[in-house]
Structure 1
Amino acid sequence: MDFELKWFPSHREVPPAVDVDAALDETVDYWARWGGHCRQDGAYGAAVKRSLLVLRALTHYETGGIVAAPTTSLPEDFGGSRNWDYRYCWLRDAALTLESMLTHGYESEALKWRNWLLRALAGDPEDIQIMYGVGGERDLPEKELDHLPGYQDARPVRVGNAAVSQYQADVVGEVMVALERLRLAGGREDHFSWALQCALLGFVENHFNDKDFGLWEMRGSARYFTHSRVMMWSAFDCGVRAVRDHGLQGPVAHWEEIRKRLRKEIMNRGFNHELNCFTQTYGGRQVDAALLALPQVGFLAYADERMLGTVSMLEKELLTEDRLLLRYRTESGIDGLEPGEHPFLACSFWLVEQYARTGRLTEAKALMDTLVGFSNELGLLSEEYAVKEKRMAGNFPQAFSHLALVRAADAMHGVDRLSMAVKETE
């Protein structure tokens, strides 16, 4: 016997019943055809295809907005307060999704995501947010639902996300990198798209001296996060490339000067010569897994000695006994929350990519096999993984984890992700 559950406004007539068997056949046919276009093979080809299917399923079919996860308040720390609402569209996730779709044969989907990005960002650049609702909603206040116990009594249960009001300096860089890679893949700019990108670079310049809350949406004090400053560099690098390599119009000499200034600043303040590594924040001594993104955007080569020194410090400070990578040490108090969380899967996938791009293939394969093994029977991954408890942690399924899986598999398979060459003469 088939059962159908449908919502409809009470003032309308009850809609007709669906032919469940026909609808199921149609659904299976659609997803099989969509997945059949995936360009990928190799040892992790099936995991890549599954991840791309997950990303497509997290995308709103009308607006094109991709949610970070379809859940709220599934705890990162069981019984703790690190419970967040991820049912919104982060610009960062949308930009990274565009890159993955381009790499694996979904050019039309990449264009749709670009159009969502452009609609979300339309208007005054000073009003830019890091996230929006699936329909472009901007007002996403965070509320705590005290009457709900939460998953295994993890409190509070949250609706909305206070990070929506944060300044995160890396976001424009993420968007600019994705749109540069779309150009490299043959995508053509229209008048609105390029004008908006120029306006975004103006926004970054206007906030050049502002501290931010970083990739991980810290709830402590704003700081100069090295990763954020690198992504600002990357934003101007993409602007320069758009003019020099693609013939677009813009104040390229001015952007080159800002890019040069940022690089000098990052090398002077974000790299600790005593520790031989980049640090989480300017003048700090802690490291952060987000630093693995530096070679991903062309700031320096994967095998650069400074990057290798940073990887060595990440291994020393952030690898768990199970050889998984933490985001950062929560005991430092930098995030303004009680310490304690499980390894963030995306970070370990980034480490796989770093290993693979520098010839550490045995270590890369061992870690990749472990991470893929954390998937459930449907090939889905959560935000974090609790190894001792042998269970997933955090919201689920998590777009960021699947995006990082695709990147790692591409590195393992030797796939060219339309990467941007490092300009040593800069």
Structure 2
Amino acid sequence: MTVQSSLAGDSSFRPPGHGGSRPAVCEGALAMTSTSPFPPIADYAFLSNCHTGALVAPDGSVDWLCLPAFDQPSAFGNLLDRGAGSFRFGPYGINQPTARMYVPGTNVMTTTWHTPAGWLLVHDALTMGPSQGPDAVTPHTRPPADVDADHMLIRTVECLDGAVEIELVCEPAFDYGRVPAEWTMVGDDMHAADASGAGQTFRLSTDMLIGIEGGSARARHVISKGEKAYCALSWADGLASPADLDDAVARIDATIVFWRNWLSRARIPDHRFRHPLERSALTIKGLTYMPTGSTIAALTTSLPETPGGERNWDYRYTWIRDTTFTLQALHYLNLDWEADEFMQYVADLEPNPDGALQIMYGIDGRRDLAETTRDDLTGYEGASPVRIGNGAYNQRQNDVYGAVLDSVLLHTVRSKRLPRRLWPLVESQAQCAIATWHDPDQGIWEARGAPQHYVSSKLMGWVALDRAAKLARIRNEEGLAELWAKTAEEIREDILEHGVSDRGVLRQHYDTDALDASILLAPLFGFLPATDERMRATVEAIDNELTENGFVLRYKTDETDDGLSGKEGTFLICSFWLVSALAMIGELDRARSQLERLLRIQSPLGLYAEEYEVDKARHLGNFPQAFSHLALIGAAGRIILADFREELSL
């Protein structure tokens, strides 16, 4: 199904950070221009209040914000079309900042600007504050925390020196750019206005004087050394907004305290990798939907895996296969509360009629994630189509059972208890694994080609029954334990008979000798001992034959029927998996070198997208990507453990 729409107006293109409809362009034209109007993906700053998130471009424009939750339609969507809504607050006429950084230990952003007339400091935050009872905006199914989202985006400026003219340009376009805002002034003092469209309303408030120009609200003001100003967007219940500048500053300060208090609960070793671990932890928390405990794969939709191409997907949902990596990372960081919240979300999910969980769900647990396209949007740098929803939600992927049951075992061992409500989930997923492990599927990468006997899916079937047997023994269910362990061994033997090439390397699927980076999961899940020659040969083959300048591809697109055209970049999660696999087979120096290489290509703010295009040294795909950060935590954790062991042996 394709959703047809159009943006009002036909004005000429405006610079990044400003509103206005786009001109007509030929397909892929933006991708071919020498200077793209779209900022590089890695240059965006990520803000979060654990209900929704925003991306802020270097020029100070909010180019992505969905209200009131991660998976709702965007009100600011310039990320996917330069006329789909933006919100800039910064110095007038200056678009290149001097410095950008997070307030240490937080997801609060600071930007320093040097203008010909002075210096300016901007703070940006999706603010957090004391819980005020039931949340009418995004209702909770999990117990509310002491601190929750304010449902506000607050921005403050302070003149550090001289006198600087600042501008506010707020030009929303609701429903992914389809509906320009209708503005209504609030009160008579010209300090607040409401923007409405597509059934949504938010309030813009500021201590500057607002003027309405068509679909935008604007303000300009000169501040001198020591002076401050603010603006805020509110979609809170009753459109509650900061009372004044002091209130706005206090809310940002409270948000800084929230993030630092949260991070203080995490176990971050004193090691040279401490900072990337902290930033990854903050990113994973920022991609958590607090009302239900779910986590999203990434903040965005349709950022391209292939520049100008069709490999554009909506990642604002919860993938069940991520459960085990999420639990591993959270427990490693000692964040047991978040781990329990996530497991409770999984336990609440409605299965398919056969008892199997879907491969992905909405952040509220909904099952229907039907995919549509927005053909009126250019897409990032001409990459189309722009997709809303994800058609893979109803694919058959047999690896899901292993991810769920490994997660349950991890959580059970950590918490020293197997919750009663999780045992039916164990039984149902084990039975599904038994019923389906013989069958072909779409594999871990959700290929849209013909189903195959993917080795990684068989491997996760083995994980499912191996973990189920261990859980059964915890409950003294010896009969089930024996049955499940026996089936796990059958799967192992089948993989070793049909899934290993003549040179002793685990293959992508039973009918090919092609390599696939998902086979790196074999050492990570203990399928074979790290000393097994087949394991070493597989890791070495991937390192030598499935990399570009040391970065790992998922697979070679000319060897794999994934139902799509075009080449894709290297996959960062696979590169981090290689770090872990090298460490596990004893190649610690190579593992350290690989991790250092990956850390050198992090974004200026320490974030990772899904992919990395080696030839042009740029990030591709949805951003920031939880999978990349989860794998970083696992890889760094293994290196840190090895380093500490070496210290003890001296």
What range is the shorter-chain TM-score in?
over 0.9
> What is the rounded CA distance, in whole Å, between the counterparts of 2:422 and 2:358 in structure 1?
18
Q: Which residue matches 1:316? A: 544
Give the SS at the match of 1:126: coil
Quick check: 1:289 aligned with 2:517? yes
Which of 527, 531, 555 is equivalent to 1:328? 555
Following superposition of structure 1 onto structure 2, how do residues 12-411 of structure 1 map, counting pairs within 5 Å? 13-17=238-242, 19-41=247-269, 42-121=271-350, 124-126=353-355, 128-245=357-474, 247-248=476-477, 251-272=480-501, 274-320=502-548, 322-411=549-638
Q: Which amino acid aligns with 1:275?
A: R
The Cα shift of 1:323 comes to 1.2
The Cα shift of 1:14 comes to 4.1
Q: Which residue matches 2:71? A: none
Q: Which amino acid aligns with 1:136?
A: G
Task: Give the structure-1-normalised TM-score.
Answer: 0.92
Normalized per residue, which structure has more helix?
Answer: 1
The Cα shift of 1:245 comes to 4.8
Task: Give the structure-2-normalised TM-score.
Answer: 0.61
Q: Which amino acid aligns with 1:265?
A: D
The Cα shift of 1:203 comes to 1.6
The Cα shift of 1:25 comes to 1.1
Q: CA RMSD in A?
A: 1.8
Q: Which amino acid aligns with 2:574?
A: C
Normalized per residue, which structure has more strand?
Answer: 2
Give the SS at the match of 1:4: strand
Q: After TM superposition, what 4+ stretches of structure 1 lie above 4 angstroms from structure 2?
A: 121-125
> What is the rounded CA distance, in whole Å, between the counterparts of 2:307 and 2:241 in structure 1?
43
The Cα shift of 1:275 comes to 2.0
> What is the rounded CA distance, in whole Å, between the counterparts of 1:398 and 1:337 in structure 2?
22
> What is the rounded CA distance, in whole Å, between the counterparts of 1:353 and 1:206 in structure 2?
31
> What is the rounded CA distance, in whole Å, between the counterparts of 1:195 and 1:255 in structure 2?
15
> What is the rounded CA distance, in whole Å, between the counterparts of 1:380 and 1:284 in structure 2?
35
Give the SS at the match of 2:470: helix
Q: Which amino acid aligns with 1:287?
A: L
- Residue-by-residue CA offset, 1:330-363 (whole Å, 9 max, x unaligned): 1124211113011100111111111122222222
In structure 2, the CA distance between the partners of 1:14 and 1:351, relative to structure 1 (3 Å rule), is closer
- Residue-by-residue CA offset, 1:203-233 (whole Å, 9 max, x unaligned): 2222233211111010101111001101101
Any conservation in 1 of the 2:293–2:342 contact (CA below 8 Å)?
A: yes
In structure 2, the CA distance between the partners of 1:20 and 1:122, relative to structure 1 (3 Å rule), is farther
Question: Max radius of gyration: which structure?
Answer: 2
Any conservation in 1 of the 2:523–2:584 contact (CA below 8 Å)?
A: no
> What is the rounded CA distance, in whole Å, between the counterparts of 2:508 and 2:407 in structure 1?
24
- What percentage of aligned pairs have identical amino acids? 36
Any conservation in 1 of the 2:356–2:429 contact (CA below 8 Å)?
A: no
User: What is the aligned residue count?
Assistant: 411
Any conservation in 2 of the 1:142–1:160 contact (CA below 8 Å)?
A: yes
The Cα shift of 1:244 comes to 2.9
> What is the rounded CA distance, in whole Å, between the counterparts of 1:203 and 1:299 in structure 2?
20
